[in-house]
Amino acid sequence: MMSFTFPVRFLSYWNVYEAASNIIDRFFRQTKVNPMSLRVVNSFKIEAPCQALAISPDGARLAFYQNFGSGILVYKTDGAYDQYFKRGGTDASLNIAFISDEKIVTRPASKHEFDSIGEIWNINPRHPTQLLASCSTNPEMARRAASKLAVSDLRKTLLLASARSNICNINVFDAETFSVRTPTVNPLNGIVGSIAASDTNGLIAVGMVGGDIYFLSINNLDIVKIIEDFFTHEISFGSLEFSPDGDHICIGRGLSTSDLKSRAPGGLSLLNIRDGRIFFNYDTHGIGVKCISWSFDSRYFAALISKSCHLFRITDAGLVEKEGEIRDVTAMKFSTKGNTLFCLNTNTVVHYELPARI
């Protein structure tokens, strides 16, 4: 069998060429968008690399999960430093979300904190940061911390998924009292890839790894609808997010990392809640969708695919058009106020403004 090896000198030249090409590409084409679509309002540095992003309901503060140190950094949206608090533990797969302007929910800081599946923190700047409450579940499920958490669109419902022995329970808490609002019923087989909740349409969506999407009633957890075999690969986690008006749900499937892109289908779909019809599909070429976010008016939605934020809008005719793409993004989130989008790249935050037009 004939083999062929590139000369060492050629490889070194090629590496230099590749590195130079990447620098030029990032400098000139980091943001690929329609010039009419986005305007940079502000950009600022945060003091440490972070990997998760949440925005307060009043749109005034941003919370970030620090990559090293298991801490939460809080900044005002104009870039002013607000506060930092240490959670302890080293759980890097952290989910964070605002329940109110001054309360954040996180997963437990340590895998060994078996008596809790969620923690509520007070971040009122006038008082010391403190742990307000721990959300506990029934004893037989308390041996595993929540795998996923979500806060509903109107901030009335806190959703935590916990699992043990491949059996998943969906736990619904009141977002103000932190008490169990709905008894846990209908345990689901498998691992939860993503969950979402909407007070507006009264639904909970649960995407199972390598399996189905369940739509449950937010009031009693009865199964309303099942989309079978949507997440077709055993390790495709996926993302789910209801639109604020409750009319649509955006579904991201495939792997959450690009280095395994050949092992799962990937893709982004938009489903109409009223008729259950999927009317938009976007091929991500096997790369998984890390997260999805909607603008407050439900006109725009964004999907983080690998390290690029893909921006879409829904026209008056009900069609979906791609507005553009922002590269080198670690996390992103639409603001709850106005047509604004925040993108995080390790420790740099860029604040974009979208046009009000459709």
pLDDT of residue 8: 37
Is residue 122 exposed (0-12), middle (13-18) or buried (19+ Cβ within 10 Å)?
A: middle
Q: What is the CA radius of gyration of the chain?
A: 21
Spans of all domains in the chain:
251-327
Alpha helix (H) ranges present in the chain?
8-29
Tokens of 243: 């639109």
Our measurement of the distance from residue 10's CA atom to the centroid of its chain's CA atoms, rounded to an integer in Å, reads 42
pLDDT of residue 320: 93
Is residue 240 exposed (0-12), middle (13-18) or buried (19+ Cβ within 10 Å)?
A: buried
* DSSP per-residue codes, 143-190: TS--SEEEE-TTS-EEEEEEEETTEEEEEEEETTT-SEEE---S-EES
Tokens of 76: 């005002």
Tokens of 9: 């000198």
Mapped onto helix, strand or coil, the DSSP state of residue 16 is helix
Q: How many CA atoms lie within 13 A of 14 on its CB side?
A: 6
Task: Tell me the pLDDT of the chain (358 aa) as tens digits.
Answer: 433 333 434 334 444 444 454 444 444 344 455 544 688 999 999 988 888 899 999 999 999 988 766 688 999 999 999 988 876 544 544 578 898 898 888 876 555 444 556 778 888 877 777 777 776 655 444 445 456 778 888 888 887 776 655 667 777 888 877 777 765 555 677 777 788 999 999 999 988 776 688 898 988 888 888 887 665 554 455 689 999 999 999 998 765 444 444 444 568 999 999 888 888 999 888 787 888 999 999 999 999 998 899 999 998 888 899 988 999 999 999 998 888 999 999 899 999 998 765 4
CA 282/CA 333 separation, integer angstroms: 20
Question: Which residue's entry shows tokens 């789910």?
Answer: 240
pLDDT of residue 165: 56
Name 301's Cβ contacts closer than 8 Å, sequence gap at least 6: 241, 243, 250, 270, 292, 293, 294, 295, 312, 313, 314
Tokens of 221: 């957890």
The residue type at 214: Y
CA 117/CA 113 separation, integer angstroms: 8
Name 237's Cβ contacts closer than 8 Å, sequence gap at least 6: 193, 194, 207, 209, 231, 255, 256, 288
Distances 356 to 36, 229, 320 between C-alpha atoms, Å: 11, 37, 16
